[in-house]
Structure 1
Amino acid sequence: MERAHAAPAASPWQRTLWVMCAVQGIMMMAFSSMSPFLPLYIEELGVRDPRAVDLWAGVIASSNFLIMALVSPLWGAIADRRGRKLMVLRTTVAISFFTFVMGWVHNVWELLGARVLQGAFSGYSASATALVATVVPEEKLGTALGWMQSSAMIGALVGPLAGGLVSDHVHSYRVVFYLTSAFAMTAFLITFFLVKEGFHKPAAAPANKRSFIGQFRAVRALKPVQAMFLVLFLAQFSVMNVQPVLPVYIKELAAHSQHVATYSGLAFAVTGLAGLVAAPIIGNRSDRLGYRRTLVIAMFGAGLFYIPQALAQNIWVFIFSRFGLGLFVGGILPTANALVGRLAPKDQRGQIYGFTSSSTFLGSFAGPLLGGFGSALFGIRTMLGLTAALYLLNMLWVYWKVQDPPAMDHTP
């Protein structure tokens, strides 16, 4: 009797990818668990005026992104010299420690300080992306980063929902920070014991390329990458500009409800659920259809689904629109990062992802800050409408300025 053929064993790069997908999900859960109640936590720390809450929410949500934008090129260059796994380990420890501190603070200034320090020592996304982009075969890069984004969406699905439910159940926002810190430390242990990088230390770079200016000039020499700086900045700016004040908007839409934190968590979670479904599909299609065309489609769809959010008259229209948004927005960053990976030499990917991550983090910094000010001055509905316009403008920039690598050019 013939024995059934055993399923082929996963290759080393596949095993690394699946482990990093698990770590990605855990870390995104850690990032997003506080989103539903950050403005409410600020109120608990002593800020009472609603406009001041909006402004503080914007400042606190954006502060660590500014610091990460400044230090990402440095960490990226170190990753190329010392290994990308080391950078992932560093950032998971930093996020665990400073998230714990955020649950311990007693006033809003201490909360701001913890966020700033977290930004200086973290930078998880750039480290994880550089690691995966280095070990995965070129022709599978879009698919791999799509799965990474899908894992991030699982975290974005579970984190806000769990954060909202736990805070409503135990009547304490601080407990959520402590639990989040424990999950980030779990991500550190998984990475330490299970991720195999196979890193080979390169020869020392010339002195003129070790400085920040030298690194910037080296990246500028890669002309096709330059157009992606603005793409990534606008994409992240558009995602983040109203996110910190959405719980206040949800509180308005769910008037008289005693479960505002739960509704807020649900509104964030459905976006993650939709992205979970769509990101692997979009990533796989981008490897075949072309990154440029995929980005145009994703940005157009995301812009359209911000319009009903701005016009929503009840919480369920808003939640449905957030689900539609997730179907498109989940494919933008993995497609853009896959394109950058295809354009960048392997031995410079840490450095290049450091600079492109700076563009992303600048969007994450400017988005909440300007979104908080804009929402305080003009109202959240106006800012949601402006976000739709930004997505459409970014779509036009991609259509005019971005090109696929020559080997997969799908331009009509």
Structure 2
Amino acid sequence: MSQPVAHAPRHHAALAFIFVTVMLDMLAFGIIIPVLPHLIVDLIGGSIAKAAVWVGAFATLFMVMQFVFSPVQGALSDRYGRRTVILISSFGLGVDFIVMALAPVLWLLFLGRAVSGICAASFSTANAYIADIVPKEKRAAAFGMLGAAFGIGFIVGPALGGFLGHWHLRLPFWVAAGLSLLNFCYGYFVLPESLPPERRAPRFDWRHANPFGAVVLLRRYPQVFALAAVFFLINLAQFSLNSTYVLYTDYRFGWGPQVVGYTLGLVGLCSGLVQAVLVRRLMPKLGERRMILIGLSLCVLGYLVFGLASSAWLFLTAIPVFCLGGLAGPPAQSMMTHQVDPHEQGRLQGALTSLASLAGIFGPSMFASLFALFISDHAPVHHLPGVAFVLAALLLFAATLVAIRATRHAAPASASTDDIAVAPMAPASLGDVLAADLPSPDPVEPSR
């Protein structure tokens, strides 16, 4: 069904509304990144090894909620409209952050992460909103703008959270609550509905809310299936950072919430520059295949330096190298969308989002438990606290081999660089990248 052409002022205004909506949500999530692991340490009595396991459990719970409720919220938005789902989720996040700010015991904080995972699933609705109002030929650029909103939130959020956490560990949760409730008010008074009643689904269908169904689509396209495996390995490897970065840098270099917040801001800045500037400049010169392989190779190098760095300055030098790995994301997404029929693009993005959530279910606990083991007295190899990053490098090396095989017969891209989405790959996204509880921005047309 063709997209209706909106008047230019309304079109640009709606894009600005959804941009601000996503940015405010990302600020709210980014603010608590540097302090949540330290709050867990306080609630369990001060053991970093035990806290690492709980951090992994928190992240896994968050991703399970995302995996289950992303398609549910997508189906609800198809039936009742995007605006309604976005508003309910923003309000729910605000209330949830207040509960977490007051949580006196670990189980209540744990319950709060479950609610946050459910509410954060509305990020998929933001992407559906973009698909509603933007013509197909301009949609990729609009998703790039949405990726910029994620980047801005991730740059400012962790740095602000680290600064606030320096004064009190629970203060960032109160500020996050305020941002989410501000987002609700902003959306209630400003955000227009993008899906008119005549284009909505006639009823809520549980078959469309199945988190497994869309993955079946991938098997019909061999190259897409292989690249989806690469996408899964990238997301799985990123959870080595999500689940261990804060505690690893505390254990290894003595970094507190403030330093962690600043370094996460540096990661967000570097990633944003790669996505917004380098991808568009290098794509015409290198082509999709070379961009994918160069990006993956740089990711492998970045993870290895993270895991083996003997000093803080060497660890910091790996951040730009790791962020240059973001060169792989946009051409991989572009190559997959070229292979799939136009009427199945949404299902493709849903399938990729499901894979990202699946990585989030298993990755955090795996890497956090590995980190906890290697800093304990029972470590099979001593003096390797960065083992989680070394394992991530091995996973990315495997992804590189798969990508070499999957893209060896790929035709040169005929699309202009304006047709290549530059939204960060999921959770994260650094989506995601270093946030243990960060909802990942979905690729190209995210559905999370």
With the shorter chain as reference, the TM-score category is 0.7 to 0.9
Deviations 1:372-391, CA, capped at 9 Å, x for gaps: 01111235411112212222
Deviation at 1:351, TM superposition (A): 5.2
Q: Does 1:304 align with 2:301?
A: yes
Q: Which residue of 1 aligns with 2:28?
A: 30
1:86 to 76, 84, 87: 84
Q: Determine the C-alpha separation between the residues in 2 that align with 1:332 and 1:17.
A: 26
Does the C-alpha gap of structure 1 residues 292 and 269 become closer, same or farther in structure 2, counting only changes over 3 Å? same
SS of residue in 1 equivalent to 2:35: helix
SS of residue in 2 equivalent to 1:241: helix
2:106 to 104, 108, 131: 108
Q: Which residue of 1 aligns with 2:438?
A: none
Q: Which residue of 2 aligns with 1:398?
A: 403
Does the C-alpha gap of structure 1 residues 173 and 16 become closer, same or farther in structure 2, counting only changes over 3 Å? same
Within-5 A mapping of 1:221-232:
223=221, 226-227=225-226, 229-232=228-231
For the 8 Å contact 1:254–1:260, the answer to whether it is kept is no
2:156 to 155, 158, 162: 158
For the 8 Å contact 2:21–2:187, the answer to whether it is kept is yes
Does the C-alpha gap of structure 1 residues 377 and 192 become closer, same or farther in structure 2, counting only changes over 3 Å? same
Within-5 A mapping of 1:328-347:
328-329=325-326
Within-5 A mapping of 1:35-114:
35-114=33-112
Within-5 A mapping of 1:117-128:
117-128=115-126
Deviation at 1:125, TM superposition (A): 3.0
Deviations 1:230-285, CA, capped at 9 Å, x for gaps: 33322222222232322222223434xxx622111122111101112121235546
For the 8 Å contact 2:78–2:201, the answer to whether it is kept is no
For the 8 Å contact 1:219–1:352, the answer to whether it is kept is yes
Q: Which amino acid aligns with 2:235?
A: Q
Does the C-alpha gap of structure 1 residues 261 and 213 become closer, same or farther in structure 2, counting only changes over 3 Å? closer
Q: Determine the C-alpha separation between the residues in 2 that align with 1:20 and 1:210.
A: 24
Q: Which residue of 2 aligns with 1:376?
A: 372
Deviation at 1:222, TM superposition (A): 5.8
Structure 2: segments with no counterpart, 5+ residues: 1-6, 375-383, 417-448
Q: Which residue of 2 aligns with 1:361?
A: 357
- Taking structure 2 as the reference length, the TM-score comes to 0.76
Deviation at 1:292, TM superposition (A): 5.2
SS of residue in 2 equivalent to 1:33: helix
- Taking structure 1 as the reference length, the TM-score comes to 0.82
Does the C-alpha gap of structure 1 residues 77 and 367 become closer, same or farther in structure 2, counting only changes over 3 Å? same
For the 8 Å contact 1:67–1:119, the answer to whether it is kept is yes
Q: Determine the C-alpha separation between the residues in 2 that align with 1:191 and 1:287.
A: 36
Does the C-alpha gap of structure 1 residues 182 and 68 become closer, same or farther in structure 2, counting only changes over 3 Å? same
For the 8 Å contact 2:66–2:117, the answer to whether it is kept is yes
SS of residue in 1 equivalent to 2:34: helix
1:179 to 157, 161, 175: 175
**As a proportion of its length, which structure holds more helix?**
1
Does the C-alpha gap of structure 1 residues 398 and 144 become closer, same or farther in structure 2, counting only changes over 3 Å? farther
Q: Does 1:246 align with 2:245?
A: yes
Does the C-alpha gap of structure 1 residues 13 and 284 become closer, same or farther in structure 2, counting only changes over 3 Å? farther
Q: Determine the C-alpha separation between the residues in 2 that align with 1:248 and 1:292.
A: 36
For the 8 Å contact 1:153–1:276, the answer to whether it is kept is yes
Q: Determine the C-alpha separation between the residues in 2 that align with 1:84 and 1:283.
A: 30
For the 8 Å contact 1:126–1:353, the answer to whether it is kept is no
For the 8 Å contact 2:71–2:208, the answer to whether it is kept is no
Does the C-alpha gap of structure 1 residues 362 and 131 become closer, same or farther in structure 2, counting only changes over 3 Å? same
Deviation at 1:356, TM superposition (A): 2.4
Does the C-alpha gap of structure 1 residues 220 and 327 become closer, same or farther in structure 2, counting only changes over 3 Å? closer
Deviation at 1:109, TM superposition (A): 1.6
For the 8 Å contact 1:139–1:287, the answer to whether it is kept is no
Which stretch of the first structure deviates more once superposed, 97-106 or 186-195? 186-195
Q: Which residue of 2 aligns with 1:3?
A: none
For the 8 Å contact 2:240–2:367, the answer to whether it is kept is yes
Q: Determine the C-alpha separation between the residues in 1 that align with 2:362 and 2:122.
A: 19
Q: Which amino acid aligns with 2:268?
A: G
Q: Determine the C-alpha separation between the residues in 1 that align with 2:265 and 2:226.
A: 31
Deviation at 1:210, TM superposition (A): 4.6
Deviation at 1:87, TM superposition (A): 3.1
Deviation at 1:327, TM superposition (A): 3.5
SS of residue in 2 equivalent to 1:48: coil
Q: Which amino acid aligns with 1:317?
A: L
Does the C-alpha gap of structure 1 residues 30 and 299 become closer, same or farther in structure 2, counting only changes over 3 Å? farther
Does the C-alpha gap of structure 1 residues 210 and 154 become closer, same or farther in structure 2, counting only changes over 3 Å? closer
Q: Which residue of 1 aligns with 2:186?
A: 190
Q: Determine the C-alpha separation between the residues in 2 that align with 1:248 and 1:50.
A: 7
For the 8 Å contact 1:26–1:184, the answer to whether it is kept is yes
Deviations 1:30-78, CA, capped at 9 Å, x for gaps: 2222222222111211333332111011111221111211222222233
